[in-house]
Amino acid sequence: MFVTHLESAIDGTRFDAGRVLTMHNGRPLWVRYDLAAVKKAVRPADFALRVNSLWRYRELLPLPKDIEPVTLGEGMSPILPCPRLGKELGLSRLFIKDEGQLPTGSFKSRGMAAAVSMAKHLGLTRLAVPTAGNAGGALAAYGARAGMEVFVFMPEDTPVINQLEAFLCGARVFLVNGLINDCGKIVREGIDKLGWFDMSTLKEPYRLEGKKTMGLEIAEQLGWRLPDVIFYPTGGGTGLIGMWKAFAEMTELGWLGSGEPSSVRSRLPKLVSCQSDGCAPIVRAFEKGERFAELFANAHTVASGLRVPAAVGDFMMLDAIRASGGWAIAGQEKSIVPWMRRAASLEGIAICPETAVCFDVLERLVREGRVGRDEEIIVFNTGAAQKYPEAVKLDLPRLDKNRAIDYDAIARRP
Ligand SMILES: *Cc1c(COP(=O)(O)O)cnc(C)c1O
């Protein structure tokens, strides 16, 4: 095992690995590795021969090597070229990394695979999570896979698929008349009474490590280099923070741009953190030049994964975005459904509402000349559109099998 210790992200306090840890002073912990030892143990080329999942990056994950992970085969999602969509936007190198193909249909499975594996290894048996939707489904699935007890708390208007998947996986699911932070309070207060472990985003240290593998995976898939710009829909922030951590670790390992001039080697992608104008606490803080975000009042968006009015990792997100030379920008709520259909119609990729927000932001940045037409751009599709039946109002024409079919009318349908 290459983990040396854990470290408070707010003040650097060190903690021993190998025991149950949560936060320090209400703020998250980083997992730290002996990167010099990792560098001796594995070379980038070695990964190609390994299992086709995030567990191929075992030296940079917290689970000891001799412990079996709790797995559903997560990771190694494809990076799909999007020539037609790119052409419409005036971009020559546009790609979608399709995390909708992961178990439970979202990138949340990466975090939960790592966190549930660690929870099991550390002897925990009863897990609880407040969720905007996908995290609850993913925890329920991995909890079932591990034979553990799971409690899920979600806003009462969470997409029904998330309610269904958590229920079917045997979790005890509760609907709360509030948002994810209200659910978080219920979980926090239940810790003493029911003895469960809080699996909230960034309140335990290992979901971040699982999501970090998105960054490792892009590098490997692109031949150990990184794109120019990454668009990521931002809620609690683990996706963004995790990727930036992966880039930092790979830089220190000397794995990026091996053999190329140092200018190529040292250049990391701009991170564009995308939120909806219905819930944009990180965008507000970014614009004001603040390191911490204020609670976003009256948060509303059909992009349920972005309905996070306050995040304990706000400063980690803002630090990463600024260090990358990127931006935090709000897309328009009203453009979500049009973008879902436009992207899927042009490329066949069923993008979630969260990712639709990224496309609205991307279109704006191209128009404003902040993204160049020949830059290499990866937009993360963090989940599958099929998980959001409520987001799109369908009004499909009906045909009567007992009447003559009007084929001209069929041909005219848009
Ligand atoms: C959770 C979620 C997000 C936000 O991810 P964070 O890592 O919490 O910022 C984006 N999209 C989807 C589909 C999600 O489920």
Q: What is the pLDDT of residues 168-180, one digit of tens each?
A: 999 999 999 999 9
Owning domain of residue 220: 79-105+206-391
CA of 108 to the centre of ligand 1 (A): 7
Q: Which atom of ligand 1 is nearest to the CA of 133?
A: 15
Residue 90 forms part of a structural domain: yes
352 lines ligand 1 (CB under 6 A): yes
- pLDDT over 60 at 339, yes or no: yes
Which of 128, 116, 121, 117 lies closest to 192, judged by CA? Answer: 128
pTM of the model: 0.96
239 lines ligand 1 (CB under 6 A): yes
C-alpha distance across the termini of the chain, in Å = 57
- Is residue 277 situated within a structural domain? yes
Share of the chain above pLDDT 90, in %: 96
337 pLDDT tier (thresholds 50, 70, 90): very high
Q: Would you say the CB of residue 108 lies under 6 angstroms from ligand 1? A: yes
Please state the domain count of the chain: 1
- Residue 402 CA to ligand 1 center (angstroms) comes to 46
| Cα 382 to middle of ligand 1, angstroms | 7
- pLDDT confidence band for 261 (50 / 70 / 90): low
Instruction: Read off the pLDDT of residues 35-68 as tens digits, 9 standing for 90 and up.
Output: 999 999 999 999 999 999 999 999 999 999 999 9
Buried/exposed 95-130: b ≥16 CB within 10 Å, e otherwise? bbbbbbbbbbbbbbbbbbbbbbbbbbbeebeebbbb
Residue having the nearest C-alpha atom to atom 3 of ligand 1? 305
- Helix (H/G/I), strand (E/B), else coil: 30: strand
Check if 305 has its Cβ closer than 6 Å to any atom of ligand 1.
Answer: yes
Quick: pLDDT tens for 195-224.
Answer: 999 999 999 999 999 999 999 999 999 999
Alpha-carbon span 163 to 308, nearest angstrom:
18
Is any ligand 1 atom within 6 A of the Cβ of residue 383? Answer: yes
Residues in the chain: 414
Q: Is 314 in the pocket of ligand 1 (CB under 6 A)?
A: no
| pLDDT score at 11 | 97
Q: What is the DSSP string of 193-243?
A: HH--EE--TTTSSSHHHHHHHHHHHHHHHTTS---SEEEEE-SSSHHHHHH
User: Does residue 27 lie in a domain region?
Assistant: no
Question: Is 342 within the bounds of a domain?
Answer: yes
Judge contact between 293 and 282, C-beta under 8 A.
yes
CA of 305 relative to ligand 1 center, distance in Å: 5
Q: Which of 238, 161, 245, 162 is nearest to 199 (CA)?
A: 238
Instruction: State the DSSP H helix or E strand holding residue 81, giving kind and residue range, or none if neither.
Output: strand 79-81
Which one of 109, 183, 207, 234 would you pick to mutate in the ligand 1 pocket, going by the greatest count of ligand atoms within 8 A of its CB? 234
Residue type, 49: L
Phi-psi region of 21 (alpha: psi -120 to 50; beta: other; left: phi over 0): beta
What pairs with residue 30 in β-bridges?
7
Contacts (Cβ under 8 Å, ≥6 apart) of 370: 327
In the predicted structure, residue 297 carries a pLDDT above the cut 90: yes
Pocket test for ligand 1, best of 106, 307, 352 (most atoms within 8 A of CB): 106
Ligand 1 centre distance from Cα of residue 193 (Å): 29
Contacting residues for 213 by C-beta, under 8 A, at least 6 apart: 54, 57, 61, 75, 110, 242, 246
- What is the best residue among 99, 104, 108 to mutate for testing ligand 1's pocket, by most ligand atoms within 8 Å of CB? 108
- Residue 258 confidence (pLDDT): 62
Per the domain annotation, does 3 fall within a domain? no
- 259 has pLDDT over 60: no
Distance 342 CA to ligand 1 centre (A): 21
Distance 397 CA to ligand 1 centre (A): 34
165: in domain: no
Within-domain flag for 232:
yes
Residue 303's domain is classified under what CATH number? 3.40.50.1100
Task: Kindly state the greatest CA–CA separation across the chain.
Answer: 75
Assigned domain for 292 exists:
yes
d(CA 237, ligand 1 centre) in Å: 7
CA-nearest of 409, 388, 389 to 397 is 409
- With a 6 A CB cut-off, is 354 part of the ligand 1 pocket? yes
* Predicted confidence (pLDDT) at residue 264 exceeds the cutoff of 90: no
